[in-house]
């Protein structure tokens, strides 16, 4: 029974259940248009778009992994994992890592399969590729490290876990010489050489009367500003951690199911009803809130330039003012949900839709 109950799908995966708030008229304050677009097979898994200098690396349901020049959309290389995907994609610009629905970790180099290894575990989080190693956060929130060149297992760290975890991307990221991993509602700093725990900070406090209501896993993406890493604890809290010293700066009770974005002034996120909130980076106090996009199925945001960028369940990309939430610009895609957090390389913003549309926008 424990094995069968290992994963619970996030409620946001099926989109909003209330009628979306109609989009209000606005006067564009910035100009932008499609710079290029590409098409892949649909994306029904927790996709992370990997960004390396000048390159976007994406993946699709059918196992396709694709590297594109950020400025032009030109295909740099294409490869395949040979099976449908359950998680991906992580890349350092040289190696690209995905996990199949059958639990195989597959590493590609310039589109060529370098190696694959059965994990014998469920994975919903894109692997992290850093320092010529591949780090995998499993569904039970154990962390596994492999040599990126040949797949040699290096170490595994298991922590006491919760009975249920989310079938949603968790937090695994690099911070200087520390590996950050979300383990339940806690952010842990691990030694990447051996997996030893250097520090651990609780961001959320599970609440509720049953195991489902008490789910409080940290969810991707996390946001880093200098030495501070800000994260969301599923349906429980938003908080910021000083990753240099391993201490909690602040945590505030907040509903919501997707990760956050941040800049040097604010931390941004949307709650379960798609109310957008900006918390001050220094204290966690609420700076502003907006209810203009209620029930529109917002995903995780991106903070870039003047704008806070959200994609919604109808394929609309909203660029909001970071200082107050006013609409700066609104862009459309193919009408299907935006399924990955928006990413940016240079001046090019990329969003991916469930139908497999890759839409790159650029301010004019």
Give dist(CA 234, CA 220) in Å, integer.
Answer: 10
With respect to residue 229, please indicate whether it lies within any of the assigned structural domains: no
With respect to residue 62, please indicate whether it lies within any of the assigned structural domains: yes
Give, as one character, the DSSP assignment of residue 31: -
With respect to residue 5, please indicate whether it lies within any of the assigned structural domains: no
With respect to residue 237, please indicate whether it lies within any of the assigned structural domains: no
What the block records as the tokens of 282 is 């220094």
What the block records as the tokens of 49 is 């778009």
With respect to residue 240, please indicate whether it lies within any of the assigned structural domains: no
Paired with 52 in beta bridges are 55
Beta strands 197-202 and 307-311, pairing class? unpaired
With respect to residue 210, please indicate whether it lies within any of the assigned structural domains: no
CATH number of the domain enclosing 108: 2.40.128.630
Sign of torsion, CA 234 237 243 247?
negative
> For residues 36 and 356, is the Cβ–Cβ distance under 8 A?
no
Instruction: Supply the pLDDT for residue 205.
Output: 85
Sheet arrangement for strand 247-253: 218-225, 228-233, 237-242, 247-253
> For residues 50 and 96, is the Cβ–Cβ distance under 8 A?
yes
pLDDT, averaged per 10 consecutive residues of the chain (364 residues), comes to 40 60 93 95 96 97 98 98 96 97 97 96 95 95 96 91 72 97 95 97 80 79 98 96 98 95 98 97 98 97 96 98 96 97 97 98 87
Give dist(CA 359, CA 75) in Å, integer.
Answer: 14
Burial environment of residue 301 by CB neighbours within 10 A (0 to 12, 13 to 18, 19 or more): buried
Range of the domain at 79: 47-157
> For residues 268 and 262, is the Cβ–Cβ distance under 8 A?
yes
Instruction: Supply the pLDDT for residue 80.
Output: 97
DSSP 72-139: T--EEEEEE-SS-EEEEEEESSSEEEEEETTSEEEEEETTEEEEEEE--S---S--EEETTEEEEE-T
Instruction: Supply the pLDDT for residue 206.
Output: 76
Instruction: Supply the pLDDT for residue 160.
Output: 67
With respect to residue 252, please indicate whether it lies within any of the assigned structural domains: no
Sign of torsion, CA 54 76 94 302?
positive
pTM of the model: 0.93
Instruction: Supply the pLDDT for residue 164.
Output: 59
> How many CB atoms are located within 10 Å of the residue 27 CB?
6
Give, as one character, the DSSP assignment of residue 318: E
Give dist(CA 356, CA 337) in Å, integer.
Answer: 10
For 12, the 3-state DSSP assignment is helix
Contacts of residues 25-30 at CB distance under 8 Å and 24 or more positions apart, as own/partner, are 26/326, 26/327, 26/330, 28/328, 28/329, 28/330, 29/321, 29/326, 29/327, 29/328, 29/329, 30/306, 30/307, 30/319, 30/328, 30/329, 30/363
Q: Which residues contact 224 (CB under 8 A, 6 or more apart)?
A: 173, 175, 230, 243, 262
Number of domains in the chain: 1
Give dist(CA 334, CA 317) in Å, integer.
Answer: 11
With respect to residue 79, please indicate whether it lies within any of the assigned structural domains: yes
Give dist(CA 35, CA 346) in Å, integer.
Answer: 13
């Amino acid at each position: 029974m424990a094995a069968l109950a290992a994963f619970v799908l996030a409620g946001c995966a099926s989109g909003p259940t209330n009628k979306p708030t109609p989009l209000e008229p606005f006067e564009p304050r910035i100009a932008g248009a499609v710079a290029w677009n590409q098409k892949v097979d649909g994306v029904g898994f927790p996709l992370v778009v990997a960004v390396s200098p000048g390159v976007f690396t994406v993946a699709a349901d059918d196992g396709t992994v694709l590297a594109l020049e950020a400025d032009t959309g030109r295909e740099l290389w294409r490869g395949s994992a040979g099976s449908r995907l359950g998680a991906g994609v992580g890349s350092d610009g040289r190696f690209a890592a995905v996990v199949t629905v059958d639990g195989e970790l597959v590493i590609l180099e310039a589109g060529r399969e370098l190696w694959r290894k059965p994990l014998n575990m469920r994975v919903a989080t894109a692997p992290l590729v850093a320092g010529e190693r591949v780090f995998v956060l499993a569904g039970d929130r154990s962390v596994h490290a492999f040599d990126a060149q040949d797949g040699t297992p290096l170490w595994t760290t298991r922590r006491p876990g919760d009975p249920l975890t989310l079938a949603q991307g968790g937090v695994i990221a690099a911070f200087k010489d520390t590996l950050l991993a979300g383990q339940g509602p806690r952010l842990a700093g691990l030694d990447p050489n051996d997996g030893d725990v250097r520090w651990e900070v609780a961001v959320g406090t599970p609440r509720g009367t049953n195991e489902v209501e008490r789910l409080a896993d940290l969810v991707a993406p996390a946001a880093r500003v200098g030495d501070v890493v800000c994260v969301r604890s599923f349906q429980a809290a938003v908080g910021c951690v000083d990753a240099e010293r391993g201490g909690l700066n602040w945590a505030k009770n907040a509903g919501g199911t997707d990760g956050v974005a941040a800049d040097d002034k604010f931390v941004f996120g949307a709650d379960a009803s798609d109310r957008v909130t900006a918390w001050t980076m220094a204290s966690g106090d609420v700076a502003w809130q907006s209810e203009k996009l209620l029930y529109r199925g917002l995903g995780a945001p991106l903070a870039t330039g003047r704008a806070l960028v959200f994609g919604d369940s109808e394929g609309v990309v909203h660029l909001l003012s970071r200082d107050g939430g006013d609409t700066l610009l609104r862009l459309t895609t193919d009408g299907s949900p935006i399924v990955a957090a928006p990413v940016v390389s240079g001046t090019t913003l990329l969003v991916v839709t469930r139908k497999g549309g890759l839409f790159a926008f650029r301010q004019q």
